[in-house]
Structure 1
Amino acid sequence: MQDTEAMTAEHEAGSVARILSDMRRENGWTLAELSKRTGVSISALSKIENGQSQPAFSVLTRLSSGLGVDFADLLEGRSGSARFARAARTINRRGEGKRLENDMGVYRLLATELAAKALTPMVIDIPARADRAEPARSAHSGEEFVYVLSGNVIFEMVPYAPVILAEGDTVYFDAASEHGFYATGPGNARILSICYSGSGAAPDHLTV
């Protein structure tokens, strides 16, 4: 399993590096120009292109938004997927979805076959917070709706006190406020998260 996950991470990193390199060459952009467009530092962009760094989720979303490339296409190294339009439809069967992992948890991105969506649906497995671990945090443009599918999670959001959400509970919030989740343990919890960007671009997550 670990070997498979490592191969998946290497594929994602390689796909992103290829997209960045191709777009820079086609448009004649320098790393400085690409940094200005995406908000990602020149040093980070250089490491990604050279395969020295696997981009975090927050970096991927900024690249997606700044380059006008759908989030799923960026991960897969595709030039484009079917764009959302009248009568567009896509189905994900149970367990399907694009896998992505960061400090917040393990994500399954849904409906990745459609580009330029206003909504970004995800199923996220949320781990418990390790002792003395720094809390994972996120903040991004738009709005977010979360439904707890299983387990209990603690939801933290500035400026409110932490609150426990049980299975079946929901929260709808301004995603620009710093926020985060962690399971009450000892096992993982699972949530459905739907982010609304309002622009057809992936939410611009900051560092988590």
Structure 2
Amino acid sequence: MNQRETVLDEGGAHSVGRILADLRHDNGWTLAEVSKRTGVSISALSKIENGQSHPAYSVLTRLSSGLGLDFSDLLEGKSSRTPFARAVRVINRDGEGRMLKNDMGRYRMLSTDLAAKALTPMIIDVPPLAPGATPARSAHSGEEFVYVVSGSVVFEMEPYAPTVLATGETVYFDAASEHGFYASGPEGARILSICYSGSGDAPDHLTV
């Protein structure tokens, strides 16, 4: 993910701002305190609260991790969901899931009805790299597993050389290292990505 990503429409942006403002008010936190907890700048937090900014995926993950909120709650603008517990389950039928889009591709977030998950599963439709474009990059805490469902992708990760992953191939890596994907063919590709934070929070992407 990077600075150009957009994941929420105007209504979603206002919902995040409302949740953030209510949480600050209930806990008596200043913007400076929230900034220290999340790593999101005070000016960015102010714009989010006032509905002047559409928070990117990277910002949402930092807010969810730093404030103890479930990532899907921020996406949906809701304040409560079914907590993860023994014998709990959630099923996503074909095509179901919370949709978002950024420079890396089109995401279908899975199992968003459960809060406090250690895993963040996503189906990602990965486009080819546009002529002259710079590949999108991401870096976040925890670990990530990727399985190529269809097509093939170029996987780039510091400090390794780029490598092509074909259908059925996988990669498991340290997500704190800057990394990214793009389809190697003109038709695009689809991958399954599962992020693990180790804490029950969504991965806290470092780029704001």
- TM-score bracket for the superposition, by shorter chain length: over 0.9
Deviation at 1:198, TM superposition (A): 1.1
| Residue number in structure 1 paired with 2:206 | 206
Deviations 1:17-62 (A, max 9, x none): 1101111111121111111111000111111111111011100000
Query: SS where residue 75 of structure 2 aligns?
Result: helix
1:137–1:207 CA contact under 8 A, matched in 2: no
| Residue number in structure 1 paired with 2:140 | 140
Point out where structure 2 has 5 or more consecutive residues left out of the alignment: 1-5
> What are the residue-to-residue correspondences of 1:33-52 with 2, within 5 Å?
33-52=33-52
TM-score, length basis structure 2: 0.93
> What are the residue-to-residue correspondences of 1:56-135 with 2, within 5 Å?
56-135=56-135
Cα distance in 1, alignment partners of residues 42 and 11 from structure 2: 22
Higher mean alpha-carbon deviation, 67-76 vs 25-34, is at: 25-34
1:12 and 2:12 matched: yes
2:14–2:50 CA contact under 8 A, matched in 1: no
| Residue number in structure 2 paired with 1:154 | 154
Report the residue type matching 2:179 in the other structure: H
| Residue number in structure 1 paired with 2:173 | 173
Cα distance in 2, alignment partners of residues 207 and 101 from structure 1: 16
Query: SS where residue 9 of structure 2 aligns?
Result: helix
| Deviant stretches of 4+, over 3 Å | none
| Residue number in structure 1 paired with 2:185 | 185
1:147–1:169 CA contact under 8 A, matched in 2: yes
Cα distance in 2, alignment partners of residues 100 and 66 from structure 1: 21
Higher mean alpha-carbon deviation, 192-201 vs 8-17, is at: 8-17
Deviation at 1:187, TM superposition (A): 2.3
1:125–1:188 CA contact under 8 A, matched in 2: yes
Cα distance in 2, alignment partners of residues 199 and 32 from structure 1: 24
Query: SS where residue 173 of structure 1 aligns?
Result: strand
Deviation at 1:185, TM superposition (A): 3.0
Point out where structure 1 has 5 or more consecutive residues left out of the alignment: 1-5
Cα distance in 2, alignment partners of residues 103 and 28 from structure 1: 36
1:154–1:162 CA contact under 8 A, matched in 2: yes
Cα distance in 2, alignment partners of residues 205 and 101 from structure 1: 16
2:154–2:164 CA contact under 8 A, matched in 1: yes
Deviation at 1:99, TM superposition (A): 0.8
Deviations 1:57-99 (A, max 9, x none): 1000000001100000111121111111100100000000011
2:158–2:177 CA contact under 8 A, matched in 1: yes
Deviation at 1:138, TM superposition (A): 0.7
2:143–2:173 CA contact under 8 A, matched in 1: yes
Query: SS where residue 141 of structure 1 aligns?
Result: coil
Cα distance in 2, alignment partners of residues 42 and 102 from structure 1: 24
Deviation at 1:120, TM superposition (A): 0.5
RMSD of aligned Cα (Å) = 1.4
1:154–1:165 CA contact under 8 A, matched in 2: yes
TM-score, length basis structure 1: 0.93
Report the residue type matching 1:63 in the other structure: L
